[in-house]
Copies of this chain bind each other. A is one copy, B any other.
Amino acid sequence: MKKFISGDDAVAEGVRLAKPHVISAYPITPQTITVERLSEMVEDGSLVSEYMHVESEHSAMACAIGVSSVGARAFTATSSQGLLYMSECLPYASGARLPIVMMNANRALATPWNIYGDQMDSMFLLNSGWIQVYVEDAQEALDMMIQAYRIAEDEAVMTPVMVNLDGFVLTHTYELVDIPLQEKVDAFLPPIATRDQVMSLDAPKSLCITAGNDFNQEFKMKQDRDMQSSTAVIEAVDKAFGDAFGRYYKGMMDAYRCEDAEVILVTVGSVTGTAKTVCNQLRDEGKKVGVLKLRYLRPFPTQGLCDVLKSTKAIGVIDKNISFGYEGTIFTNVNSALVTLKERPETLNFIGGLGGRDITKQDIRGVFDTLISKAAGNAEERIQYMNVRCAE
């Protein structure tokens, strides 16, 4: 069935289909529509789940940890200040290997306060041990809620997943979304299996334990190893999803018109669509440009990224975030992967969209022009801001 709904609505639909046992969430713009819809679904019985009105985000995640620790399926959603307020609990959950799924509506961080979309919030949490996926539209948001549970609960992964969607640009934009049938989702996503890391009356467990300096490092190494190898599961789940529902998102990343591209723009999240639009215009003008949509930032697809980018001349990375005193965080991550290449393409960083600033088609065109110029050997600023309203 097709519906004309917002990204937040789409998330709620995806969650409904994934049937979590318990939802614990705290309202924050622009995530609210999602939790409101879920409240309605619980009230009207279309979702059989416990909705817990927790008193803060820290408790929202702590509650989800409790739910997951007894082997039940947990969902929560947040954004921005809320994500940071709960941040202590994120490495907690991932270290415990609890397959919680969370929606994060990407939003700017105070101060100054701002409710609009940028990606400073989730970039803060790259080290949290959570799998991070970013979606491009409402359909992908819905589909990823379902995929997220299957990935998180996979025996080889057992790691929580954060599904990120851009505030307002996705959360509050309505579009046509296909709602899968419950039966098909049930077939794709089996009920949560009981694993060794959760409580059980038959074999009681101690959870979230202490490991001193004799053992701690090995626990973390195991966590890292499994996160690294989750790449394969992510790819497989996406393929299986494609087979079942006809929508395949290309796993870790989606290379758009990149085959022969001399210049590639790396994007994360909703700006991808605008970049593709401009890319198509430039292709029509005969320019060899492409867009590489990074879907996952953790695990980071070092190898795949290098494969796509290796024969490019210039690469641009769009960051809707800034690590003050350095550069955009995606740029930093992409650069580090590229050092593995013998012949390294030039990379430039384009920072924009902060606090919801529009990234226009003209901005993207400017970015491609700069990259083409760079590819031609001209000097260009390594780090540039897009769509600045005043003198710099």
Contacts and interface: CB of A to CB of B under 8 A. Distances in A.
Q: How many copies does the complex hold?
A: 2
A116 B213 contact: yes
Interface residues of A, number: 83
B323 A218 contact: no
A20 interface: no
A214 B214 CA distance: 53
B340 A323 contact: no
A268 to B, nearest CB: 15
B112 A216 contact: yes
Contacts of A354: 216-217, 220-221
A392 B355 CA distance: 44
Contacts of A327: 336
A85 B86 CA distance: 7
Given A221-B385, A298-B326, A332-B333, 8 more contacts: A81-B88, A84-B91, A95-B109, A112-B216, A116-B212, A124-B128, A213-B358, A335-B336
A354 B60 CA distance: 28
B220 A340 contact: no
Contact of A127 (B210, B224, B323): B323
B92 A321 contact: no
Given A108-B216, A216-B355, A336-B332, A224 B325 contact: yes
A228 B325 contact: yes
B326 A333 contact: yes
A340 B212 contact: no
Contacts of A4: none
A113 to B, nearest CB: 4
Interface string A298-314: 11101000000000000
A329 to B, nearest CB: 6
Nearest to A112: B211
